[in-house]
Amino acid sequence: MTHIWIVLALSAAAADDRRDAAAREAQKTAAYETAASPANASLAAAPGSVDDKDARVGQVIFEGTSKDKVGTASLDWKSGTSSFRFKASGPIDEKTSEAVPLTLEGFSNKASLELAYSKLSWGKVPARDIVEAKAICRRVGLSFDKGECFEDDIRQRSADDADAFRDYLHLDDPLWFWGGSLSGARGAFKWSESISAESQKASHNDWAVVARAGLFTTSFGFVIASYTYEKAFTGKDAQQICAPVAAGASSLKCQSVVVGAPTEGTAKIIRLESRRLLSSGVAINPFFQYDTVTKRKSVVVPVYFLRGDKGPTGGVRGGWRSDTKEVSISVFIGAAFSLTPQ
């Protein structure tokens, strides 16, 4: 009987710890959104939004393009402050209208797979501080365990209690972001060893691994460092070759020919970036990249101000590359801006 009581006591304590952690996670997320988001700005794309009461959201998206003849399926899942993504694409069969990115024999040509994970995390709060925070909630008539006690609610009743509540929950502790992704793709190549040689075909697999870590600051938004290791094949550029249609003829026949097999290259890229919302419709994402293999450096500064249904989706991008020494400015439209990489 003693053993049963011990097990029950441990189970109850574990349940209390999980409930306290969830409540504190909601408090931290609320503090994070208040600091990160200007007035009327939406952070729905950030993991752990307090707008998600059950903290679990999933969606499946299917897309197909007749022009590129590629079908894509994406599964996105968010649980608390963790986000997962699985994305697969493959060529669309003209006869069956099916897209098959992967078979038992491996990747299909023009197919790709991506698996990504990211998480927001904070340090652990001592149990005695949780007890003190709960006591403040009870004193002002709110329930911490039911998720009804937040700093703003307490501040409406007592500024001193709100300050103490913030200290006990360590709401000013650093907010960390970390994650990574693994992706692979298969490409088909066609080339000739020389202008007069028979054409050859081959398929090769590309793959990349990305690791990221970052820290949220009120001044710079998310400051994130990442490292990418990539193996990829690159085909040669096509050449326009012209020859007489027959011996002694003055007319020429021209064709586009790729001379030389594709080459495999390795990229090891270090990236440092900042992601920040400046207002409800304006955001910036400046980043610096350095490839340790080619020694190439680049600086890119996207400024988002074109707004879509899910937030800023486009704007103007300026850039510079060390190999060409050129400065470029372009207009872009793409995925909605997010404080964390997707």
Identify the pLDDT of residue 183.
92
Instruction: Identify the DSSP state of 109.
Output: T
Query: Tell me: the pLDDT tens digits for 88-103?
Result: 887 655 554 444 444 4
DSSP 213-259: EEEEETTTEEEEEEEEEEEEEEPPPPEEEEEESSTT-S-EEEEEE-B
In a domain, 214, yes or no: yes
In a domain, 156, yes or no: no
* Count of the separate structural domains present in the chain: 1
Task: Average the pLDDT over 106-133 and give the result.
Answer: 81
In a domain, 180, yes or no: yes
In a domain, 131, yes or no: no
Identify the pLDDT of residue 211.
96
Task: Average the pLDDT over 291-310 and give the result.
Answer: 90
Query: Tell me: the pLDDT tens digits for 210-257?
Result: 999 999 887 788 899 999 999 998 888 888 877 777 777 777 778 788
Query: Tell me: the pLDDT tens digits for 303-323?
Result: 998 887 777 888 999 999 999
In a domain, 267, yes or no: yes
In a domain, 340, yes or no: no
Domain that holds residue 212: 18-125+170-333
pLDDT band at 23 (very low <50, low <70, confident <90, very high): low
In a domain, 137, yes or no: no
Looking at mean pLDDT, say which of 57-71, 128-142, 328-342 comes out highest.
128-142
Q: Which residues of 71-102 are buried (b: 16+ CB within 10 A; e: fewer)?
A: bbbeebebbbbbbbbebbbbbbeeeeeebebe
In a domain, 280, yes or no: yes
How far is residue 187's CA from residue 105's CA, in Å, rounded to a whole number? 15
Query: Tell me: the pLDDT tens digits for 40-72?
Result: 332 333 333 333 334 555 555 555 555 556 677
Identify the pLDDT of residue 294.
92
Identify the pLDDT of residue 126.
85
Residues 335 and 74: beta-carbon distance below 8 Å: no
Identify the pLDDT of residue 39.
32
High-pLDDT (> 70) share of the chain, %: 73
Model-level pTM? 0.68
